[in-house]
Amino acid sequence: MLPEAIDGLAGDADVAFLLTTNRPDLLEPALAARPGRVDLAVEIPLPDLAGRTELLRLYARDLPLSAAAIDHAARRTDGATASFAKELMRRTTLAAAERGGGPGDADLATALDDMMADREALTRALFGVGGREALRRERRLRAGFRAEGRFDELDEEDDPDGDDGA
């Protein structure tokens, strides 16, 4: 429908369409195939570790979460979008409310575990979290470090099998 709407505009029409997607492979081929329909395409890459950390800090600015817990969450969410970070903080607050207290590191860990669980595969896909490699690595890290409460010690060299998730 969009290509027909674009084609139906007068040449002097002052209209701009802003289209966003995290799945450009699913765009209708006719949208990009005809010259003049799309004048500019800009790719905004997924945030790296530093970007995810800043996003989590931004969305957690009013929550009493430790830097170690936020850093840990950033490392676990390779391939995540800003919307994932925002949803994670929303669920952290909900976990605290269900528990009957204020939000804390344990609520963040609970919310992150829930969002990264197998049953949340669709949610992760919608919020743009990385593929199977990221999920396999995350499972190894979660198994090894969450049980020990070693959030502040978790870093890239702590990958249990040393293969960086591959």
pLDDT for 58: 97
pLDDT for 117: 76
The structural domains of the chain, with segments of one domain joined by +, span 2-33, 49-158
Tokens of 31: 């949208």
Tokens of 81: 């979008």
pLDDT for 156: 43
To the question of domain 49-158 being in CATH 2.40.50.140, the answer is no
List, in order, residues 6 or more apart from 128 with CB less than 8 Å away. 22, 46, 79, 80, 81, 83, 84
pLDDT for 3: 56
List, in order, residues 6 or more apart from 129 with CB less than 8 Å away. 77, 78, 79, 80, 81, 84, 116
pLDDT for 43: 77
pLDDT in tens, the chain (166 residues): 555 565 555 666 666 667 777 677 777 676 666 666 666 777 788 899 999 999 999 999 999 999 999 999 999 998 888 888 999 999 999 999 999 999 999 999 999 998 887 556 666 666 656 555 555 555 666 666 556 655 554 444 444 444 444 3
pLDDT for 30: 65
CA 156, CA 3: separation in Å to the nearest integer?
Answer: 45
Taking only the tens place, the pLDDT of each residue in 64-108 is 999 999 999 999 998 888 888 999 999 999 999 999 999 999 999
